Structure 1
Amino acid sequence: MEREMERRTALNCISLSDPDVHKSVALLKEASLDSGFFYVIDHGISEEFMDEVFFQSKRFFDLPPSEKMKLLRNEKHRGYTPMLDEILDPENQVNGDYKEGYYIGVEVPEDDPQAEKPFYGPNVWPSEDLLPGWRRIMEQYHREALRVAKAVARIIALALDLDADFFDKPQMLGEPIATLRLLHYEGVRQVSGKASNPARGIYGAGAHSDYGLITLLATDNVVGLQICKDRDAQPQIWEYVQPLKGGFIVNLGDMLERWSNCLFRSTLHRVIVDGQERYSIAYFVEPSHECLVECLPTCKSELNPPKFPPVTCAAYLSQRYKDTHIDLSSYNDRQT
């Protein structure tokens, strides 16, 4: 299919430096009701630093497979995820996702009691000898992205008729489960014959919605992300999202959909690659482990009662990760 014939979507663009907060709230609310996706610009992370993060990501994925497998993800979801490790849409995919990734979470020392919690603990890092400066760059980006996410969350709170600092509380984003994930979709030269083909069940990333509060996505200039505004439509209509140099593509997650009683949308999306190599950097922002995700008072009424039972963030996330990643023991089986 020719690019100019493909359906593309137009997203609202929110500037974090705009002094007109009411304008930002209106743009976000419109986007949240329509597709759950929008752009964020003027976020304070320089393009030079973003370019450096992408360069460092490419350095890692260019390593030999044997070196990357030494950093295989652990049970806390830290480290390397090989090609086909994740299957996001098992009903429609014949294999897993044709992407490789790298998880970096909140750094918690092993002897800290907090490290007992799921998704918390020490990160898995390449050695300084192997990739000098790599850890420093990724830790800086993790901090910067969390700052941006908190700024976006304040606008979301206002759009839901809550106090601006609603998500800043310790049980929310004061002690978040914030996960940086580097992603690499190999070109057709490496994965011969494995360019995405929905008719054959082959995808860069299968159709899914994100699990948490919000996701900040930075991409290179290769088009690949598609969204489906109406998951119940037959047939589903998929629209490409145009990359935005220097900006973030932001989307709302399932927890926010639960909080808002489906007022704000967590939208299906997938990645279709046509043979071009593609890099992206996702930053998944979830509240604290103990946070109880339940319908907000501003989003329910007698005529619109809560649609979901309350659930803790840790329980919800743990189940979603378990559902979409292959069991780590399978890697041991392959080596024996």
Structure 2
Amino acid sequence: MENQSKNGVEATKISVLNCIDVSNPDIHQSVSLLKQACLDSGFFYVINHGVSEEFMDEVFAQSRRMFGLPLSEKMKLLRNEKHRGYTPVLDEVLDPENQVHGDYKEGYYIGVEVDEDDAEAEKPFYGPNVWPAPGLLPGWRETMEKFHREALEVSRAVAKIIALALDLEIDFFDKAKMLGEPIATLRLLHYEGEISDPSKGIYGAGAHSDYGLITLLATDDVVGLQICKDKDAKPQIWEYVPPLKGAFIVNLGDMLERWSNCIFK
């Protein structure tokens, strides 16, 4: 599980995670490190993944531009039934048992672009994206579409190592109904200035597990992400994950836990 906090009320320990180097020619070492991480917690770093730091900086800069727009402009881009577009602060409640308000974050969903006239657009989660007008944010769509493509390639590279760690063929997840034709969502997130205070039920993002295959998380240099390696522990132990420049933090989703018969967390 993970959440987003901005103080140390519930978490004081710093988590130590395995680091998977996608460019490592020794695939057996990468498989061993990843497998250990997946058995232990389902969290690890991925480095040398092919997305340049310069481009990551551009993505963050473009993200700040969008979230810096007046709320009236952002509300014109509100999330639709296909889960594309803007989500305001307090829109989501990830941990309703412990939160008194929604998450103190705003977000923006971008998926695989499918023209509304395409038969594929009839499927849930498929369809055209919601884009700001080019004149409002020049170059924004192009940056996000490129990042979506590049991040998906990183996902495919990580999935190959996961497949080997599960004693499957290396291209197991490349099948059309998996990462060949994925429901791959890019989500931008901006955490507001509200300081998380678990004692008052206030969170940047409440405790949760992701529901898909894997999540790639790119962070800035602000320490906020917390993880709980054993959700059944009493009490739960929450640890901060330090940002690592240029790396993705990867966590496994509920789908992969289920597919692995709960061997991977």
TM-score of the superposed pair, with normalisation by structure 1: 0.76
Quote the offset at 1:2 in angstroms: 6.6
Cα distance in structure 2, aligned partners of 1:2 and 1:168: 41
1:112-131 superposed matches below 5 A: 112-131=118-137
Cα distance in structure 2, aligned partners of 1:130 and 1:98: 25
Residue 75 of structure 2: aligned partner: 69
* Post-superposition CA distance 1:96-140 (Å, at most 9, x none): 100000000000000001001111100000000000000000000
Cα distance in structure 1, aligned partners of 2:202 and 2:78: 24
Give the aligned residue type for 2:129: N
Cα distance in structure 1, aligned partners of 2:232 and 2:146: 40
Quote the offset at 1:81 in angstroms: 0.3
Residue 202 of structure 1: aligned partner: 202
> Which of residues 38, 58, 69 is equivalent to 2:64?
58
1:37-56 superposed matches below 5 A: 37-56=43-62
Q: Which has the higher contact order (CA 8 A, sep 6+)?
A: 2
Q: Would you say 1:87 and 2:96 are equivalent positions?
A: no
Flag the 1:7–1:136 CA change in 2: closer, same or farther, 3 A: same
Residue 177 of structure 1: aligned partner: 183
Cα distance in structure 1, aligned partners of 2:81 and 2:206: 22
Q: Secondary structure at the match of 1:178?
A: coil
Cα distance in structure 2, aligned partners of 1:35 and 1:222: 22
Cα distance in structure 2, aligned partners of 1:217 and 1:237: 21
Quote the offset at 1:27 in angstroms: 0.2
Q: Would you say 1:262 and 2:225 are equivalent positions?
A: no
* Post-superposition CA distance 1:6-46 (Å, at most 9, x none): 21110000101000000000000000011100000001111
Give the aligned residue type for 2:257: E
> Which of residues 83, 96, 103 is equivalent to 2:102?
96
TM-score of the superposed pair, with normalisation by structure 2: 0.96
Quote the offset at 1:195 in angstroms: 1.2
* Post-superposition CA distance 1:283-312 (Å, at most 9, x none): xxxxxxxxxxxxxxxxxxxxxxxxxxxxxx
Cα distance in structure 2, aligned partners of 1:2 and 1:19: 39
Q: Secondary structure at the match of 1:7?
A: strand
Residue 226 of structure 1: aligned partner: 226
Residue 288 of structure 1: aligned partner: none
* Post-superposition CA distance 1:203-248 (Å, at most 9, x none): 0000000010000000000000001111111211100001111010
Where do 4+ consecutive residues of structure 1 move more than 6 Å? none
Cα distance in structure 2, aligned partners of 1:55 and 1:177: 25
The unaligned stretches of length 5 or more in structure 1 are: 188-193, 266-336
1:132-281 superposed matches below 5 A: 132-187=138-193, 194-265=194-265
Cα distance in structure 2, aligned partners of 1:177 and 1:135: 19
Q: Percent identity?
A: 78
Quote the offset at 1:186 in angstroms: 1.3
Give the aligned residue type for 1:258: R
Residue 3 of structure 2: aligned partner: none
- Computing the radius of gyration from Cα coordinates, the structure with the larger value is 1
Residue 112 of structure 2: aligned partner: 106
Q: Secondary structure at the match of 2:15?
A: coil
* Post-superposition CA distance 1:42-66 (Å, at most 9, x none): 0111100000000000000000000
Quote the offset at 1:157 in angstroms: 0.3
Q: Name the Cα RMSD after superposition.
A: 1.1
The unaligned stretches of length 5 or more in structure 2 are: 1-6
Give aligned pairs, total: 258
Cα distance in structure 2, aligned partners of 1:45 and 1:196: 31
Cα distance in structure 1, aligned partners of 2:233 and 2:44: 22
